Amino acid sequence: MKSYPLSIKPFGAKAILVEWPQQVDHTILNDILLFVDTLKNQDSSSSWVWVPAYNSVTLIWRSRERMDFEASKRFIEQLYKNRNPQSEKRKHTIWKLPVCYEAEFATDIETSAHTLGISPYELIEQHTSNRYTVFGIGFLPGFMYLGGLPESLHIPRRKEPRLHVVKGSVGLAGKQTGIYPQDSPGGWHIIGNCPIPIFDASKEKPCFASIGDKIQFHTITKAEYDLRKIEAEIGIYNLEKVQPDA
């Protein structure tokens, strides 16, 4: 089991930022999740809330007592040394999400394909052939930053962000892809739309996916899109899960 040099520093009066090497890497993400699993098992008093993302974990101190940073730092260092390698075998859920790539939803697919030197058909084929890892959730509630985009689809963000991107829009930016969970400004290249709600504040778990889960997209027609949207609105659409991987 590989270990990494950690940076542990205060993040305000009630939080600590633990950082791994500044890389977007599956091995680092798995090590972070391994550390979080160890913390869950050790923190019987539930003193901490943890927020993992990419190459860091923010630990938020819940107790009313003053946080002792030096003592907490020693606790974190010992915890990292004692993480259980068996947790490396943890299984992540793979979610299969429908996307309509037809012209009315894919504002930037033609220009993006031209920039990338491929056809729109090839762009869609490559985008749906991969499984993407949820490296972080943020920016908007439920916005999943998905890593693992094929290098052939890496594209800089738009030079001029849009003031309005429609809910469900699927975009490309840099080395990532993602879905806008609500109407929002945004600078990603829009190549399709997913009719399934990504974030629902009324649910116990508002965002169905967790850090480390996988997302796979599949193509649907406009007619299928309209049907899935209706099913989602009346609450009868069932999210499709693929057999979890190791």
In tens, the pLDDT along 182-193 reads 999 999 999 999
Longest dimension (CA), the chain: 59
Task: Give the count of beta carbons closer than 10 Å to the beta carbon of residue 200.
Answer: 16
Long-range contacts of 221-225 (CB under 8 A, 24+ apart): 221/100, 221/102, 222/100, 222/102, 222/104, 224/98, 224/100, 225/98, 225/100, 225/102, 225/105, 225/193, 225/195
Residue with tokens 């290249």: 189
pTM of the predicted structure, to 2 decimals: 0.86
Token pair, residue 88, equals 């490396």
**Which pLDDT tens digit goes with each residue over 94-143?**
999 999 999 999 999 999 999 999 999 999 999 999 999 999 998 889 99
Average pLDDT, the chain: 91
